[in-house]
Structure 1
């Protein structure tokens, strides 16, 4: 069993991108970080580096989520639901049911599975707990070719709002963080490893970094317990909407 220390945080999807950056930042802030993801080799290397604990987690598998939860002993101070992602850019007329189902499993059902499994450890936290759901501005807007992903992220927004309603009075803060364009493996996964298509997403503009989102997580969890940031929208200066981006900066490193 995993022994709890003074402050404990769980981060899902922690093997890369935003999840990795959040795990690093929370560890630097003094948290004992439990990292969950499928790529256990990368997870273990990160855990060793930051003094965290790596546990295999597939949020699309209820058995895996239950096993993950059972390995955590004690109460949790912070849960960062980060696992998820987008697949493809097919229009509704080109509906790809397998991609839609996969996105719903990770972005929506995965978030609920993990939160449900860890609920007893959150609800009993002595000093209150904080659930952070990493959403997207896709949960606020829509765009051509993004119906599957935006539907999932709109669902994340609905779930976050419902958590606050159902947990009112239980000293559990709920924050939804909605980033715009963040340069991670997100687009590479979306386009099945096509590096050319992935790099084109960020061409000529300055996207956010994963560390920018980690900074926002650190800020919201560090606020006094009576203060809750319901929703935090973070976009690059070069982005006005999902589909409206200034690209006049040439090659941006």
Structure 2
């Protein structure tokens, strides 16, 4: 195939499943993450299927991101696909009870980090031209707010609007832009959000038949493999057992 995909946040959850899916399909991979040991393990696991480059980076560190991508050598210097997967949610409290540092971390990762990686790789994607793609991982939280979502919902609304605006700017370059917005998904993401609370994790997913990382990975491969004249603008996915809640009404009783 000789196509190369960059996947951020590739050490767990959606990112790890997507790395495995794309490796099996013959894509060369540039995988990023903050954990050296996990990246080394993933690189070793996938080395017999494809060519893999691993970059230890925190997407919040703009200088490190730009330096790492600037130093990519062949065959990884030609980029055909960017999957902006790195992101997180922290806390489930109402806004009046949240830790300001958690808010800033979500903004730095989900907005600043995503835009930094995108800006760094845009020249290479434009050079690749027709059929190249950017796929940003949003969330249904960007469209459907819920108690305790506050800043996380805001960051994912940004991802969706940034994706649409980026598509406007890239018209005529051949670069496609999509936003994939999953609903309830079972992964390490929730353990991070709850500070490692396994009971909260189990309660959330018990009997829900939630989206699995492999479901998202196969969807991402489908998006990337669409004919070059087609662009999937936004794609929202929910488990069958998840739907919208009634409007919350607080009554004087």
Q: Fold-level match, TM-score > 0.5? A: yes
Matched, 1:21 2:17: yes
Equivalent residue runs for 1:13-52 within 5 Å? 13-51=9-47, 52=52
Distance 2:98 2:199 in 1: 23
Shift of 1:93: 1.9
Contact conserved, 1:91 with 1:145, CA < 8 A, in 2? yes
Distance 2:129 2:158 in 1: 30
Q: CA RMSD in A?
A: 1.3
For 1:214, the equivalent position in structure 2 comes to 217
Higher mean alpha-carbon deviation, 150-159 vs 199-208, is at 199-208
**Which residue of the other structure, out of 148, 152, 157, is the alignment partner of 2:155?**
152
Question: C-alpha deviations, 1:77-134, integer Å up to 9, x for none?
Answer: 0000000010001212224211110001111110000001111111100544100001
Contact conserved, 1:7 with 1:77, CA < 8 A, in 2? yes
For 1:6, the equivalent position in structure 2 comes to 2
For 2:144, the equivalent position in structure 1 comes to 141
Contact conserved, 2:131 with 2:229, CA < 8 A, in 1? no
Q: Which runs of 5+ in 1 are unaligned?
A: 245-253
Higher mean alpha-carbon deviation, 178-187 vs 124-133, is at 124-133
| Aligned positions, number | 239
The structure 1 segments of at least 4 consecutive aligned residues displaced by more than 2 Å after TM superposition are none
Matched, 1:78 2:81: yes
**Which residue of the other structure, out of 87, 103, 109, is the alignment partner of 2:112?**
109
**What TM-score do the two structures reach when normalised by structure 2?**
0.91
Matched, 1:63 2:63: yes
Higher mean alpha-carbon deviation, 214-223 vs 199-208, is at 199-208
Q: Which runs of 5+ in 2 are unaligned?
A: 247-253
- Find the residue that maps to 1:6 and give its secondary structure: coil
Distance 1:40 1:182 in 2: 25
Distance 1:6 1:152 in 2: 34
Contact conserved, 2:130 with 2:173, CA < 8 A, in 1? no
